[in-house]
């Protein structure tokens, strides 16, 4: 691998990591913002609103995979990339939900 190729691979990995981390950080941020709007009675959090936020986060995760995960000719490698991406996104999603819960408790109490 040449120096230029390794630099471009490192840049791609950093962009992917930043995209995934911004996705994970958005979960508690959205929770706190929507919770604040609900407490001020500016917005009622119904099942529809929560489902729309969940769909938006899933679409964003899909776009991160589409844009950031490298294409490959090998179907086995592509499946491996997909499984790794889903596992990492699921883990970070759970961490984001956990952080959202504790941020809500810290700000608004139980």
pLDDT reading at 2 higher than 80: no
Question: Taking the domains of the chain in order of start, what are their residue ranges?
Answer: 3-108
The full DSSP string for 49-99 is: HHHHHHHHHHHHHHHHHHHHSPP-S-HHHHHHHHHHHHHHHHHHHHHHHHH
The token pair at 55 is: 């769909």
pLDDT in tens, 18-47: 999 999 999 999 988 888 888 888 777 788
pLDDT recorded at residue 42? 79
pLDDT in tens, 51-81: 898 999 999 999 998 888 877 788 898 889 8
In 3-state terms, what secondary structure has residue 25?
helix
In 3-state terms, what secondary structure has residue 46?
coil
pLDDT in tens, 81-100: 889 889 999 999 999 999 99
């Amino acid at each position: 691998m040449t120096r230029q190729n390794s630099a471009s691979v490192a840049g791609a990995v950093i962009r992917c990591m930043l995209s995934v981390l911004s996705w994970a950080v958005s979960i508690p941020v959205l929770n706190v913002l929507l919770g604040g709007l609900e407490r001020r009675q500016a917005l009622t959090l119904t099942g529809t609103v929560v489902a729309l936020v969940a769909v938006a986060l899933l679409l964003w995760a899909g776009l991160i995979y589409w844009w950031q995960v490298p294409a490959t000719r090998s179907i086995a490698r592509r499946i491996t990339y997909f499984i790794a991406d889903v596992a990492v996104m699921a883990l970070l999603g759970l961490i984001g939900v956990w952080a959202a819960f504790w941020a809500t408790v810290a700000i608004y109490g139980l």
